[in-house]
Amino acid sequence: MSTFLTRRLATIVPTLLFVSMLVFGLQQLLPGDAALVLAGEDHDPSVVAHLRAKMHLDEALPVRYVYWLGGVLRGDLGESMRMQKPVTALIAEKLPVTIQLAAMAIVIALAIGIPAGIVSAVYKGTAWDYAANAVALWGLSTPNFWLGIMLILLFSVSLGWLPASGYVSPFEDLRANLASMIMPAFVLGNAIAAVLMRHTRSAMLQVLSSDYVRTARAKGLDERVVVLHHALRNALVPIITLGALEFGTLLSGAVLTEQVFTIPGFGKLIVDAVFNRDYAVVQGVVLFTATVYITLNLLADVAYFLVNPRMRS
Amino acid sequence: MTPTPRCALIAAASAFAAMLACAPAGAQTLRIGLAEDPDVLDPTLARTFVGRVVFAALCDKLFDIDEKLTIVPQLATAWEWSSDSKALTIKVRPGVTFHDGEKLDAAAVKFNIERHKTTAGSQRRGELAPVTSVDVVDPMTVRLNLSAPFAPLLAALADRSGMMVSPKAAQAAGDKFGAKPVCSGPFQFVERVAQDRIVVERYPNYWNKGDIHLDKIVYLPIVDSTVRLANLKSGQLDFIERMSPSDVPGLKSDSRFKISKITEIGYQGITINVGNNDYAKKSPLGTDPRVREAFELALDRDGIVQVVMEGQATPGNQWVAPTNPYYAKNMPIPKRDVAKAKELLKQAGVTNPSFTLMTPTTSDAQKIAQVVQSMVKEAGFDVKIQATEFSTSLDLADKQQYEVYVLAWSGRADPDGNLFSFIGCKQPLNNAAYCKQEVDDLLVRSRTARDPAERKKAYEQIAAITLKDRPIVYLYHRDWLWAYTNKLSGLRTVPDGLVRLQGLKFN
């Protein structure tokens, strides 16, 4: 176990170093002059010069990278030039929002995708199957921003049930928080539900035709028990893996959905930072997200190692 | 009877739905939807238009402008220029306190002007460049000494350069002042969540508190104009700024809302690279004034306003709108004349001139490019549109690596702010690389003369030269479009587009 862990941990350091170089290097490929953008529309030469010096833009690329990396190693991801706020503070502010949105979206996706997949597999070739497939196709092919605006027009403008956009902290007002998050979470969950439904359907179809399911049925078990207890459990393994992957993607921010619903999460933070050439924010957030991804992967490997006896031998 | 699980589920769902029903905000809370997220809330470092909208609540200024662009006192009570126009003496309003309780006096004004001039990265240094020193004449009188007469100074002091912050708070916070600004405006800072909200509440000791009827203001940046409007319609917002022109007809028929509009102090125009580099030389527009004249004659400004702005703008051919007192009447908007345009092209020997029109990827700018492309095609121009991400286009324009560029300017109250930096030799915003000594001399005269008639004469002379040279072809001045609940009254429409809170109330 310890050898395995040491080996896995040892690969993390070069991976993160590579990610940091990639993030830093790719950003420099962006056209445009960060100092000019951040200097505002007046382009006062003294301001441009000040910003250039502050961001070390006059120095060679490797020198700038070392400045930044030095800060990162000390836990300082730099400061947002646009908002004049430390990047770590911005991450701390946005992370809970993104986690909540991702969690709610995944719950909605699972709640829709898995039952729809089961129904579609069990009633294969019937109207239920076609209906579930049609819903999945719709979910996959509906653009998030369009669905978001349609939901706003229906539930906020016409019916007046939900706020059109914005975010309220759950610690401030749980009710308002849920009201503001339910639509964006549904929009995100809807697309993932479609993918989960398709995977659940194919996994279930495969399991339902296997020998042990036939044996269970031959034993005279109730069909509901066969489907939910015997078949579903085995079919769930790839679905859980997929769900976890989708959750990881959601954590890096849902750009369009956050933009439409004005949810102040990672997606909005990073997009605004790219357009404003706020380098420190882009670098900090991407590096942070990559670290979370890699850490989650490591945890998954460890869990797999613990539950799978074949890996231990 | 015991409830079945299904009943329980239905009951839980109903309770959840009831729970989600949104609660209305307090009657005296005004919720304003902003088109962008403001930058840092420090008047010295701030650089965005949208930031100024929030400053209207937080920070009073020495002067303000009114609906007719006249300078009126705010934190000043009186002012006087010296006979040589090289010193401005300002009487400071008595009884004004900052949000931390500190008093506003001449020393505080001196501190603020010096802070604007000396802070690293100050965006105000350029506006206050002619101010060489500040003297405290008496506890409530201050004198600004200038290196040369500078007429636009009052307009600068009616904007962020004239905003006064608490010296004590500014010294204590250092470069973190913008995180919790302490000024002397009608509302004091409560909290800011980046990209989400800025909350301010009424300052009880405001010097003009009789004019303040609201308790709290929440500014919510919502970039998408459709979503901003949806929030207004669904009651989550009371006021939205910069609504989309295409939404005006729909909202006009809804009696729950009112729409206000006023012509901006800025402009939308097309900059032509007339410099000496390869880009300018490659383009027929950059090299021959007759081709530029033909280009302008091929444009129909009314048509552009109708198509791009759905009529919600004022056609214009100068750096200020035709309604502005400094508009040069000797150079009216030229009428479209395709035949004359073709004739000019023939004279220039280029009947089918071709050039690349760079445009930022914003919707308005792209629409302008497309309309211009089809209009000038009738005269024989072949326009290639190069849609470029905004920051990149800014950089290319700054380096003069473009032929023709579509760009808007948010505008300044004094015409100097719309002109000097754009056509003065080697000025920072002179992307056209235009340079003429004669124009430079007139520009200096226009900013050193204090008499409005004399200034206007200088602007007329500048117009007579530059509108023929055409480094910039001005197209129109947008309307600031505000939509708000009909319960709100007392709104003032000042051309700078800032939402003034004095007098604003819910009926």
Q: How confident is the model at residue A308 (pLDDT cuts 50, 70, 90)?
A: low
Whether A168 and chain B come into contact, CB under 8 Å, resolves to no
Q: What is the pLDDT of residues B352-399, one digit of tens each?
A: 999 999 999 888 899 999 999 999 999 999 999 999 988 888 889 988
Q: How far is B49 from chain A (nearest CA, A)?
A: 9
The CB density around residue B111, as the number of other CB atoms within 10 Å, is 20
Bigger pLDDT: A226 or A308? A226
Q: Is B506:B273 a contact under the CB 8 Å cutoff?
A: no
- Of the candidates B389, B379, B399, B393, which has an alpha carbon nearest to the alpha carbon of residue B284? B379
Given a cut of 50, the residues of chain B with pLDDT beneath it are 1-26
Residue A203 pLDDT > 90, yes or no?
no
Query: Closest approach of chain A CAs to the CA of B462, in angstroms?
Result: 21
Question: Average pLDDT of A176-196?
Answer: 91
Q: What is the pTM of this model?
A: 0.84
Residue B18: its pLDDT value, please? 45
Q: Least CB-CB distance to B125: which of A46, A152, A272?
A: A46
Q: Which of B424, B466, B468, B426 is nearest to B447 (CA)?
A: B424
Q: Which two tokens stand for residue A150?
A: 């349609």
Q: Which two tokens stand for residue B75?
A: 């934190």
- What are the strands of the beta sheet with B131-138, ordered from one edge? B76-81, B87-92, B141-146, B131-138
pLDDT of residue A214: 84
Provide the terminal-to-terminal Cα distance of chain B, rounded to the nearest Å. Answer: 52
The pLDDT of residue B328: 95
- Residue A143: is its pLDDT beyond 60? yes
Pick from A272, A90, A263, A257: nearest CA to B197: A263
pLDDT at A194 over 60: yes
Q: What is the pLDDT of residue A257?
A: 86
- Distance (Å, rounded) from C-alpha A279 to C-alpha A24? 9
Measured in angstroms, the CA of B356 and the nearest CA of chain A are apart by 19
> Rounded distance, CA B369 to CA B430, Å?
21
* Residues B191/B449, Cβ–Cβ less than 8 Å: no
Nearest C-alpha neighbor of B270 from the set B372, B355, B125: B372
- Amino acid identity at B345: L
Count of other CB atoms within 10 angstroms of residue A189:
27
B329, B322 in Cβ contact below 8 A?
Answer: no
**Inter-chain CB proximity A166 and B231 less than 8 Å:** yes
Q: Could you say which of A44, A153, A167 has the minimum Cβ distance to residue B428?
A: A44
* pLDDT for position A258: 87
Distance of alpha carbon B432 from alpha carbon B297, whole angstroms? 20
The nearest alpha carbon in chain A to B421 belongs to A42
Whole-number Å distance between alpha carbons of B314 and A275 = 30
Residue A113: which H helix or E strand, with range? helix A87-122
pLDDT of residue B21: 42
| pLDDT score of B2 | 41
Q: Cβ distance A35 to A57 under 8 Å? A: yes
Check pLDDT > 70 for residue A253: no
Q: What pLDDT does residue A313 have?
A: 58
More confident residue, A39 or B350: B350
**Do B63 and B88 form a contact (C-beta atoms < 8 A)?**
no
Q: Tell me the C-alpha distance between B231 and B220, whole Å.
A: 10
Predicted confidence at residue B27, as pLDDT, reads 54
Other C-beta atoms closer than 10 Å to the C-beta of A63 total 11
User: What residues 106-165 of chain A have any CB closer than 8 A to a CB of chain B?
Assistant: 149, 152-153, 156-157, 160-165
Q: Which residues in chain B touch residue A44, judged by CB atoms under 8 angstroms apart?
A: 123, 125-126, 428
Hey, what amino acid is at A89? Answer: A
Widest Cα–Cα separation across chain B: 98
Spatial distance between the Cα atoms of B178 and B55, rounded to a whole number of angstroms:
11
Across the range A115-144, mean pLDDT stands at: 87
Quick one: residue B93, left, alpha or beta (phi over 0 = left, psi -120 to 50 = alpha)?
beta
Tokens found for residue A225? 């028990």
Rounded Cα distance, B205 and B48, in Å: 28
Q: Tens of pLDDT along B169-223?
A: 999 998 889 999 999 999 999 999 888 899 999 999 999 999 999 999 999 998 8
Q: Is A141 helix (H, G, I), strand (E, B) or coil?
A: helix
User: Shortest CB distance from A51 goes to which of B16, B20, B121?
Assistant: B121
pLDDT, residue B200, reads 97
Q: pLDDT per residue over A98-108, tens digit each?
A: 889 999 999 99
The DSSP secondary structure of B23-85, one letter per residue, reads PPPPTTEEEEEESS----S-TTT---HHHHHHHHHH--BSEEE-TT--EEESSEEEEEE-TTS
**Beta strands per DSSP E along chain A:** 79-80, 85-86
Please answer whether residues B178 and B113 qualify as being in contact, where contact means their C-beta atoms are separated by less than 8 angstroms: no
Q: How many CB pairs under 8 A join A and B?
A: 159
- Of A108, A104, A100, give the one whose Cα is nearest residue A190: A108
Comparing alpha-carbon positions, the chain B residue that sits nearest to A179 is B20
Q: Which of B23, B195, B395 sits opposite A269 (nearest CB)?
A: B195
Closest-CA residue to B92 (of B117, B124, B60): B60
Mean pLDDT of the A265-275 span: 85
Q: How far apart are alpha carbons B45 and A50 in whole angstroms?
A: 12
**Which ranges in B321-402 belong to alpha helices (H)?**
338-348, 363-377, 390-398
Residue type, B234: S
Residues 6 or more apart in contact with residue B236 via CB below 8 angstroms? A156, A163, A164, A165, A166, B22, B31
Closest to B122 measured CA to CA, from B85, B156, B74, B72: B156
